Amino acid sequence: MNHIVPVTVGTRESLACDLLVVGCFEGEAPAALETAGLGEAWRAAAAQAAARPGWRGREEQVAETGVAPAGGTGGTGAALALHGLGRRQDLTWRKLAAWLERVADAAQVNGMARLAFLLPRHAETVGGAAAERVARALALADYRFDRFLSDPAARPPRIARVEILPPLREETAYAEALARSGPVAAAVTLARDLANAPANEATPSWLEARAEELARERGIGFTVLHEDELARRGMGGLLAVGAGSAYPPRLLRLEVGQEGPIVALVGKGVTFDSGGISIKPAAAMDEMKYDKCGACSVLALAQAVQELRLPVRLRAYVAVAENMLDSRAYRPGDIVRFANGKTVEITNTDAEGRLILADALTLASGEGAEILLEYSTLTGAVVAALGHYAAGLFTPDDALASSLLAAADETGERLWRLPLWPEYLEEMKGVHADLRNSASRWGGASTAAAFLSQFVGGATRWAHLDIAPVAYVSREQTHHPGATGYGIALTLAYLRRLAGV
């Protein structure tokens, strides 16, 4: 398990840390209300930093000063830094989260292990939802996938703890948020660790072993369908995609909870996607280890639901395969029969995710799912539509869409609804089979979702989340590339509302 930073609500009167970071708005820094209650040494340091020539509180502006150890506050080597957040009206959650990350990075570089954040009053820092976002971001502040580094000295020092000094009168909201954000951060960390693992380690059998280990340790029900059982059930999609790999495909099933609505979560677990015979270009093919991000989030969600004791009957279905090339690999022109009896003409072996999901969706809906949510890095088309800023949401259910979008807003995980018009399904009709697995390049995210709609059976409350834009970040996007664990926070927020807790 990767390191999760211990986060607490600090006490202003007896604050002891290596660095106190004070967030300040342009022209308002530091506000007397926010520094009220701090020890004399801290307040004196804040006033000294604010008096520096040129200090305005502009975005990314920093004024730092040492703190004299007096009256039990501060300590040898303690420091205070005013951080400009720019104009009050311009602050968004994205900007606030980026600020928290920058501060944590700088603190690690400078060996400051005990941090405290004094937060200004703002819509992004007030209330339970804001408190959970801040607490989760800080708990994950020093996440690094570094277990393959041979030199321990190359690993950055850990942050030992973080204290949050909330806006006055928000202490209770933050204390309650911390109780919920810990299991969420732990689930995000698990999903990231699984997704970041390289394909030469993270084979289908490896992912099965991790899921079985999770189930055993957490008391979660676990079953697995291997090749023989997949064939017996007619799951031709999973079998076709996995046929070219030395590692056979499988379908993992986890079950949590004995009461409440039956919620099925389905995740795409392509441990490496070469594109098959329709092979991908070499550029960025190393990132295709992230084609299992949907599956990793679903496994982590099972852990979080168990830890949070949410009153739902959760069933997680993880379709796992490696899409590779050899003499047994499936081909363009093949016709594949699926578990629900539908046939699909293969026009592109790189449109493999929808094939393994089709069989998993058929199983989930056939086992009585009342709500069916599916997560997959499914299309490049959704990235073309949304950039790397949001996941795409597809559902015929307006009420479900509204609930998921509200959960996304609450947790800061962006989600955008895209259309599922009948014309998209028409494009997916086959020539010699019921369907084809790939159509034209136009509207590719919606045609893929339309394809999946043919495998949800009688489920009416279903949604497909195409998380390709946000499931991971590349080295071109950030200096901390890797999997994000996207979808975990918003799904847990949705499930809490569904369960009324």
- Residues annotated as catalytic are 280, 354
20 CB burial (10 A radius; 0-12, 13-18, 19+): buried
Q: What CA–CA distance (Å, rounded) separates 171 from 360?
A: 44
Q: What CA–CA distance (Å, rounded) separates 318 from 211?
A: 10
What are the residues whose beta carbons fall under 8 Å from the beta carbon of 430, sequence distance 6 or more?
343, 344, 345, 436
Q: Tokens 């599956």 label which residue?
A: 295
What are the residues whose beta carbons fall under 8 Å from the beta carbon of 114, sequence distance 6 or more?
16, 17, 18, 19, 160, 161, 163
- Side chain identity at 93, as an amino acid letter? W
Reduce the secondary structure of 376-405 to three states and give it as a string.
Answer: ECCCCHHHHHHHHHCEEEECCCHHHHHHHH
64 CB burial (10 A radius; 0-12, 13-18, 19+): middle
Q: Residue 109's CB: how many other CB atoms inside 10 A? A: 10
228 CB burial (10 A radius; 0-12, 13-18, 19+): exposed
Count helices and strands (H / E) in the chain. Answer: 15, 19
Note if the bond before 30 is cis, omega within 30 degrees.
yes
Which residue from 228, 219, 196, 311 is spatially nearest to 263, judged by alpha carbons? 311
User: Whats the size of the chain, residue-wise?
Assistant: 501
Show the tokens assigned to 274: 């070469």
Show the tokens assigned to 186: 């732990």
Q: Phi/psi class of residue 487: alpha, beta or left (left: φ > 0; alpha: ψ in -120 to 50)?
A: left
| DSSP helix/strand/coil, 468 | coil
- Side chain identity at 311, as an amino acid letter? P
**C-alpha distances in Å from residue 26, one per residue of 20, 33, 57, 82:** 19, 16, 4, 11
Q: Is the CB of residue 265 less than 8 Å from the CB of residue 314?
A: yes
